[in-house]
Structure 1
Amino acid sequence: MFIPKDFKVEDQQRLLQFIENNSFGILFSHDEDGPHATHLPFILKNADTPELIGHMAKANPQWNNIDGKKVLAVFSGPHSYISASWYKEKKNVPTWNYIAVHVKGTIEIFTEEEELMSILQQSVDFYEKGFETPWEMENEPETVSRLLNGIVGFRIKIDSIEGKWKLNQNKSTENKEEVIKNLRKQDIYDSHQIASLMEEEIK
């Protein structure tokens, strides 16, 4: 990912927290048939050596040729269009403010029932937490058993994490305040979230 120095975030804990909060990403890979991409939820195992785990449909051809290969997982956060008319000075152009994190690593594919059950349980525990009546795998053993036959699991050992917070850091405080004011007037994209993030950066 191209990251100008003004927008680069290197705090690894901040990047890991972002992934956990925005865990629905895209898995990219490439083989002799060309590029592949699948939209998936990922579970971050935040130990001494962070890794990503998850599962995909066995009918999805992406997993067939990627075991042991390098892959890219992309996580996107809030984003919004920025009009050049919002800046105090002229000689500016429209742009897009956004947050994104790229994870590169080596993927391992597995189909063993014990591993798949572990992935599913961790996914359910993560996404159901806080619900008034959380769904539990134990209540649907036949459904879960059928599901296991239709999925494969994966683990991505993380090699690198890159973070880009593009929030007008290269503009003056006055310009940033004008952008924030105008973002607050909008109801499209993630304008209010971007405004809040820009306010945090100013502080």
Structure 2
Amino acid sequence: MYIPAAFRSDDPDLAWQLVEDIRFGCLISGGLGLMASHLPFMVERGDAVRLVGHVARANPQWKELEASPVLVNFLGPNTHISPSWYTTSPRAPTWNYVAVQVRGRVRVTEDRETLRRMVLDLSALMEPDGSPWEAAKLDIAYIDKLLPGIVGFAIEVDHVDVQLRLSQQNNADDQRKVRAALGAGSLRERQVAETMTRYLGRLPE
């Protein structure tokens, strides 16, 4: 991923926080031909970092995942930025966005206990706070009926790139004007405004 210096972050904690915020990524592999699947991911942090997920057994991509390195692309909040929002002119339209790209090698698993734990952990992780539904209370027999339909995997991460294009190339006044315009806009625009508020202070000067 091409990242201009103004938009790059090399903070690994920020990288995994962004992945956990976005959660839904595009798994791209090229072992036997270029293939992509959109999936939710869990992050396992330890001495090394792993991305964990599963795919439908009917999805042929799983058969080639161990053949070569893979790329997972996470695209966060993003929106058009109007030149009319700047104090200085002339200016060109641009796009604000958050993106994380992760590279690594995959280990596939069909072990039932591992798959069961993956499904329960992901379900518990993603269920909203206060929800009356609990994955842990599901009938194990019901879960076991579902397991033959999926294949699990873990990606041993060897590289991660983070790009936060959040108007930080502009002066403080222009940043405020962009954030204010986005904050009064559509849901997509408000999400980018919130992201600017949350992350601009964590980027290098």
Identity of paired residues, percent?
A: 32
Q: How many angstroms apart in 2 are the aligned matches of 1:90 and 1:68?
A: 51
Q: How many angstroms apart in 2 are the aligned matches of 1:122 and 1:91?
A: 51
* Displaced runs of 4 or more, over 6 A: none
Q: Which amino acid aligns with 1:40?
A: L
Q: How many angstroms apart in 2 are the aligned matches of 1:44 and 1:199?
A: 24
1:127-158 CA distances to partner (integer Å, 9 max, x unpaired)? 23633323235533332112111110001000
TM-score by length of 1: 0.90
**RMSD, aligned CA:** 1.9
Q: Unpaired runs of 5+ in structure 1? A: none
Aligned: 1:154 with 2:140: no
Q: In structure 2, do the counterparts of structure 1 residues 58 and 128 end up closer, same or farther at CA, with 3 Å as the change threshold?
A: same
Q: How many angstroms apart in 2 are the aligned matches of 1:202 and 1:160?
A: 24
C-alpha displacement at 1:48, in angstroms? 2.2
Q: How many angstroms apart in 2 are the aligned matches of 1:14 and 1:133?
A: 31
Q: In structure 2, do the counterparts of structure 1 residues 139 and 196 end up closer, same or farther at CA, with 3 Å as the change threshold?
A: closer
Name the counterpart of 1:14: 14
SS, match of residue 91 in structure 1: coil
Aligned: 1:132 with 2:131: yes
Q: How many angstroms apart in 2 are the aligned matches of 1:89 and 1:128?
A: 45
Name the counterpart of 1:113: 112
Name the counterpart of 2:94: 95
Q: Which amino acid aligns with 1:152?
A: V
Q: In structure 2, do the counterparts of structure 1 residues 202 and 160 end up closer, same or farther at CA, with 3 Å as the change threshold?
A: closer
* Structure that is richer in helix per residue: 2
Q: How many angstroms apart in 2 are the aligned matches of 1:138 and 1:175?
A: 51
Q: In structure 2, do the counterparts of structure 1 residues 173 and 186 end up closer, same or farther at CA, with 3 Å as the change threshold?
A: same
Aligned: 1:24 with 2:27: no
Q: How many angstroms apart in 1 are the aligned matches of 2:26 and 2:12?
A: 20
1:1-30 CA distances to partner (integer Å, 9 max, x unpaired)? 111010001110111111112211111111
TM-score by length of 2: 0.90
C-alpha displacement at 1:41, in angstroms? 0.8
Aligned: 1:193 with 2:184: no
Q: When the two structures are aligned, how many residues end up with a matched partner?
A: 201
Q: Unpaired runs of 5+ in structure 2? A: none
Asked if the contact 2:51–2:157 (Cα under 8 Å) also holds between the matched residues in 1, the reply is yes
Aligned: 1:2 with 2:2: yes
Asked if the contact 1:137–1:144 (Cα under 8 Å) also holds between the matched residues in 2, the reply is no
Asked if the contact 2:7–2:163 (Cα under 8 Å) also holds between the matched residues in 1, the reply is yes
